[in-house]
């Protein structure tokens, strides 16, 4: 297949096992930076356009062809990756997690893997199984329904009502349907989305929509050790997402939310879970409860915010995998803000048009930002690469639109 490890400018010795950061976006960049600063060699296996490729804190593995998840999988299972034998393998995307759980036995003979049971991790990629586990654990959930046929679609829509939330049943299938979460306003959009998913052979889960803005979202992060004891208790709030109601977070704030921590820990202990876990909730004013929205058994997009607050999840995970001493890190700095400024501006504009946010309020909130996900003075090229790619894509979209109009 052909692979090449790029130059590595950092002066690092292999006194400890290297780490392979597999897949991911801004979380992959955060993990690479956090581990390299601790004297750990980091290599990245990813798409050629992702920010981590341009970081001075990681060596990028260049693969021939499209460098897709299928190519990552082939490389890891091939003899070409023998040079990295004994490395710690850290998946940073759902596709990467899927590669690990589908090839757990073979990969465990070559690399050091997280202690989480692979079948448990697989179930957490399945949205329907995840919500079933939450319900069995006594965690509040929204109404939800697994949909594979048109009859099931019509029945679920009549029970749940509009608007709805649609998600691919199996998280990695978002690449096939081109969405991770879709806000469904009416039956026409429901049929269009479902038809596209059915054509791609992808099952979907319909979820009841919880009224209220994205500022009702919060998350809990933990790492459960081999005895099921939490090494981390971290919670945060989301202020905005883009697109509204369905996109990724654009403005995050660290805050202690006891109810989210209690429910999150109960969920993971119910699964007898070990390792790194994240669970997202939304506050429902109708019955005044937090309800499960999402669960991840991997690093998330806000990883750099956890690090800034004093919780280095990458190092904690690495230490546990390599059996190095690791004390609990149960406290963190509150009121720190992570912002993706371009996406947050788009979210703020959408809220302003809807009469839900004033420009002066948004500008004041920007003044409280503590960090950006891609930019660091010591490592500026990832931010430059991300911005350049967005400008190029915008120009390509405008050119295509003008060509169509002509």
Residue ranges of E strands in 148-274: 164-168, 182-184, 204-208, 217-224, 234-242, 248-254
Q: Are 52 and 374 in contact (CB under 8 A)?
A: no
Q: Are 336 and 305 in contact (CB under 8 A)?
A: yes
DSSP string of 361-378, one letter each residue:
HHHHHHTT--B-SS--TT
pLDDT the model gives residue 404? 47
pLDDT the model gives residue 396? 57
pTM, two decimals, is 0.93
pLDDT the model gives residue 393? 74
pLDDT the model gives residue 64? 85
For strands 19-22 and 42-45, give the pairing.
parallel
Longest dimension (CA), the chain: 66
Q: What is the pLDDT of residues 16-30, one digit of tens each?
A: 999 999 999 999 999
Radius of gyration of the chain (CA): 21
Low-confidence ranges of the chain (pLDDT < 70): 1-2, 4-14, 394-406
For residues 244 and 196, what is the distance between their CA atoms, to the nearest angstrom?
22
The number of residues making up the chain comes to 406
For residues 302 and 296, what is the distance between their CA atoms, to the nearest angstrom?
12
Q: What is the pLDDT of residues 118-143, one digit of tens each?
A: 999 999 999 999 999 999 999 999 99
For residues 149 and 171, what is the distance between their CA atoms, to the nearest angstrom?
19
pLDDT the model gives residue 147? 95
Q: Are 263 and 220 in contact (CB under 8 A)?
A: yes
C-alpha distances (whole Å) from 189 to each of 157, 258, 406 are 12, 38, 29
Can you name the residues that pair with 146 across neighbouring β-strands? 205
b/e map 378-404, b = 16+ CB within 10 Å: ebeebbebbeeeeeeeeeeeeeeeeee
For strands 59-63 and 42-45, give the pairing.
parallel
| CB proximity list for 405: less than 8 A, separation 6 or greater | none
């Amino acid at each position: 297949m052909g692979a090449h490890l790029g130059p590595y400018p950092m002066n690092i010795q292999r006194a400890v096992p290297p780490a392979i950061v597999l897949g991911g976006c801004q979380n992959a960049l955060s993990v690479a930076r956090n581990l390299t600063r601790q004297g750990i060699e980091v290599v990245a296996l990813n798409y050629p356009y992702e920010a981590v490729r341009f970081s001075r804190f990681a060596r990028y593995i260049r693969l021939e062809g499209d460098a897709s998840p299928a190519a990552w999988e082939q490389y890891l299972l091939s003899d070409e990756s023998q040079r990295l034998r004994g490395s710690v393998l850290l998946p940073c995307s759902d596709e990467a997690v899927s590669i690990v759980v589908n090839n757990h036995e073979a990969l465990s003979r070559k690399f050091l893997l997280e202690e989480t049971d692979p079948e448990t991790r697989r179930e957490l990629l399945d949205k329907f199984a995840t919500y079933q586990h939450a319900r069995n654990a006594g965690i509040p959930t929204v109404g939800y329904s697994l949909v594979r046929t048109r009859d099931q679609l019509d029945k679920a829509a009549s029970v749940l009502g509009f608007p709805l939330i649609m998600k691919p049943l199996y998280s990695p299938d978002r690449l096939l349907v081109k969405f991770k979460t879709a806000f469904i306003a009416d039956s026409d959009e429901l049929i269009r989305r479902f038809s596209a998913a059915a054509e791609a052979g992808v099952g979907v889960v319909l979820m009841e929509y919880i009224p209220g803005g994205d500022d009702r979202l919060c998350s809990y992060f933990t790492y459960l050790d081999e005895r099921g004891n939490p090494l981390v208790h971290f919670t945060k709030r989301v202020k905005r997402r883009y697109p509204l109601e369905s996109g990724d977070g654009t403005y995050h704030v660290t805050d202690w939310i006891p109810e989210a921590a209690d429910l999150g820990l109960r969920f993971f202990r119910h699964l007898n879970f070990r390792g790194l876990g994240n669970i997202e909730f939304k506050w429902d004013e109708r019955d005044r409860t937090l309800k499960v929205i999402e669960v991840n058994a991997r690093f998330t997009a806000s990883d750099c915010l956890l690090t800034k607050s004093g919780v280095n999840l990458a190092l904690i995970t690495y230490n546990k995998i390599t059996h190095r001493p690791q004390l609990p890190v149960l406290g963190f700095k509150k009121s720190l803000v992570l912002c993706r400024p371009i996406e947050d501006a788009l979210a703020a504009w959408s809220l302003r048009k809807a009469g839900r946010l004033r420009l002066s309020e948004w500008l004041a909130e920007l003044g409280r930002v503590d960090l950006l996900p891609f930019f660091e003075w010591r490592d500026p090229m990832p931010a430059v690469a991300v911005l350049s790619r967005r400008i190029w894509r915008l120009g390509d979209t405008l050119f295509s639109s003008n060509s169509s109009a002509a």
